[in-house]
Structure 1
């Protein structure tokens, strides 16, 4: 087998294993949800499983295929100015989303929740979301798969190809985990893979600009928490406000400001970085 075919087989192998991990973890978590365990505990156990499977796969690659995998995926990258900028950008964009919402009249009566149980749920969900989604997904997709793709393809093709792979893996994970649990073949709404694709582009730009996987993990985690405890006012939010129309801040805050704002900002920063 020549080097090109070997590289392609590695990419395919990494995608298949990642897809299997994406299916196994939510399936077991949903099984646990049907037990007498509290929902938070089952989610936490599912997160631990997902993270352990992801780390185990990276360790397998390190031992069997690539001794430089930790450096390749940006897990141990040096901290530099682009790293700090990539960490700060989501906070700037969140502030901008709130300001835009207030200026346009989309939101009014802004305040912090005084419900301690809401804050406890939010803090616990940060840990769950890190273990169950942000860390293992970024480690496998923007880490393992991207590092192998970049050995064969340049930046621009992977910017459009990897988010497609990410959306496909997410789609298959939903379909097969639901099929295993319920016995029914359920196709998720088209909006979900579209959202995953746009989200995937933003996540990859964080990875590319910072040369580290950590800013993409942090951005992933922030977006998860914003969608659950800030922009979604139907789910005991930590920031309470009235919306002119239900769901508008999910559109303005998450899709336009966080996703598209990150894509535009990081594209400009990458262009500027390439010219220096």
Structure 2
């Protein structure tokens, strides 16, 4: 039952780190005042500072348990070029969403804002998003927890279980925050749970067909920045990348979610299916020649 202990250790690490990181804002205010940048930096350092070394340590136990240590792990820098695979896929799906919505009259694009108005804020948020969200979550969830589950279950079930654990991390942290008297970081309604469930599935499938965790990190990061600086702007006190009007309130948000999450899942499934079909044909040809 060692795999269960590893699974619980990895999941508990993510829950504890996210709770401590999200709760570190109060301490940061006392030390550095009300600077949002300082709060973001401390939260990111706490999250990655706890999750990354612990998960990498747990990976060594997983390798010993399975008796297999890959020459190039899925988190290796040698697979880092796939970071741009994730970035470009998210940008392509996001841009396609805007093009379709604009051509159908669902949104009216009013203005593109010059980068000097939002680029600095976006770069600062990229650093925060990598440390607080993209890197630790992908390493822990789409990396370690999936690999532990894959040791025991088929791929499709491992994807499903990992995604449920992803939802459970957010739920557990919100419940702990409420229990100790802190305001929950997220609102746990059905729509939010559906969104993060689809997000988790898409990110896991992306890791599977690229064979690299960096693709998931790149997609995760780019998705967050598109949502924060194009779809749901003005949160960071700077003009958005683009200003537009919805024909129906909230339509652009729903369409962007559908394009970048459901669209990402469809693209990944098509690529995975194509790769499997090619592999089967190669096997048939090999058997025929032999």
Provide the TM-score with structure 1 as the length reference: 0.87
- Give the alignment partner of residue 254 of structure 2, picking from 243, 251, 255: 251
**Aligned residue in 2 for 1:9:** 5
**Aligned residue in 1 for 2:39:** 42
**2:231 aligned counterpart, secondary structure:** coil
Q: Which moved more, 1:63-72 or 1:200-209?
A: 63-72
**1:133 aligned counterpart, secondary structure:** helix
**Aligned residue in 2 for 1:266:** 268
Contact residue 47 and residue 131 of structure 1 kept, 8 A? yes
Q: Can you give the 5+ residue segments of structure 1 that lack an aligned partner in the other structure?
A: none
CA distance in 2 between counterparts of 1:101 and 1:179 reads 42
Q: Which moved more, 1:229-238 or 1:121-130?
A: 229-238
Q: Can you give the 5+ residue segments of structure 2 that lack an aligned partner in the other structure?
A: 279-290
Once the two structures are TM-superposed, the CA of residue 10 in structure 1 deviates from its matched residue by 1.8
CA distance in 2 between counterparts of 1:187 and 1:243 reads 24
- Count of equivalent residues: 271
CA distance in 2 between counterparts of 1:234 and 1:87 reads 23
CA distance in 2 between counterparts of 1:31 and 1:208 reads 39
Once the two structures are TM-superposed, the CA of residue 37 in structure 1 deviates from its matched residue by 3.6
> Per the alignment, do residues 72 and 141 of structure 1 end up closer, same or farther by CA in structure 2, a change over 3 Å counting?
farther
> Per the alignment, do residues 219 and 183 of structure 1 end up closer, same or farther by CA in structure 2, a change over 3 Å counting?
closer
**Aligned residue in 2 for 1:23:** 19
Provide the TM-score with structure 2 as the length reference: 0.83
Contact residue 230 and residue 237 of structure 1 kept, 8 A? yes
Once the two structures are TM-superposed, the CA of residue 42 in structure 1 deviates from its matched residue by 0.7
- Give the alignment partner of residue 32 of structure 1, picking from 18, 28, 49: 28
Q: Which moved more, 1:44-53 or 1:6-15?
A: 6-15
> Per the alignment, do residues 178 and 220 of structure 1 end up closer, same or farther by CA in structure 2, a change over 3 Å counting?
farther
**Aligned residue in 2 for 1:95:** 95
Once the two structures are TM-superposed, the CA of residue 242 in structure 1 deviates from its matched residue by 2.0
Q: How is 1:144-223 mapped onto 2 (pairs within 5 angstroms)? A: 144-180=144-180, 182=182, 188-223=188-223
Once the two structures are TM-superposed, the CA of residue 53 in structure 1 deviates from its matched residue by 0.7
Contact residue 102 and residue 108 of structure 1 kept, 8 A? yes
- Give the alignment partner of residue 61 of structure 1, picking from 52, 55, 58: 58
CA distance in 1 between counterparts of 2:218 and 2:34 reads 29
Rg larger in structure: 2
Instruction: Show CA shifts across 1:188-233 (max 9, x none).
Output: 2222222111110011011111111001111111111111110114
Instruction: Show CA shifts across 1:50-75 (max 9, x none).
Output: 11111220243255554677868611
Q: How is 1:85-124 mapped onto 2 (pairs within 5 angstroms)? A: 86-114=86-114, 116-124=116-124
